[in-house]
Amino acid sequence: MQFSLDAVSHLVVPVSDPRLAPLLEALTIDYTERYGDGGVREMASFPAHEFQPPHGIFVILQWEGQTIAGGAYRRYDEHTAEIKRIWTHQDFRRRGLATATLTVLEDEASAQGYNSIYLSTGPYQPEALALYLARGYQPLFDPSGDTSKLRDLAFTKALPTSKSGETMNV
């Protein structure tokens, strides 16, 4: 069967779900290749419980039973979710999966009452920088400058309010 984005399903999973392991393992390798020991520190920097409902989630995208993409959000503050751990399997890149993951995370965060997103990426992830700019995230730095000199590239984005127009408790 040929890959089709329409055949991809998304699942909200607990941190303990074994289907999440490929994402976490591959991210650790990728971050370590890009940032050395800082990659391992980044992966260990947030306790797993911060990505559990009701304040956070992990989402995986699957195709034919294989985890091929995913990401997470956690509570940043009362009104803001922080997106973390966006990943796409190396064999499935450039097929819209990171965009699909962001869309799911934004929709889920909005449904939980968050009204904005905060995220940061590292200076050696140009594909992430391009993705976030293309998806309407506002950089909190000068993207025309030398981003390789920055520690983090931070972004924000407003989310739509709930259908009732009221902010939900998070």
Would you state the pLDDT for residue 168? Answer: 40
**What span, in angstroms and rounded, lies between the C-alpha atoms of 97 and 84?**
15
The DSSP letter of residue 7 is: G
Mean pLDDT confidence for 136-149: 91
Helix (H, G, I), strand (E, B) or coil at 75: strand
pLDDT band at 162 (very low <50, low <70, confident <90, very high): low
Write down the mean pLDDT value for the chain.
90
The answer to whether domain 5-158 has CATH 3.40.630.30 is yes
- pTM exceeds 0.85: yes
Question: Domain map of the chain by residue range?
Answer: 5-158
The contacts of residue 152 (CB under 8 Å, 6+ apart) are 120, 121, 122, 123
User: Measured between alpha carbons, how far is 6 from 109 in angstroms, rounded to an integer?
Assistant: 22
Residues 51 and 74: beta-carbon distance below 8 Å = yes
The whole-number pLDDT of residue 17 equals 95
- The rounded distance, in Å, linking the Cα atoms of 70 and 85 is 7
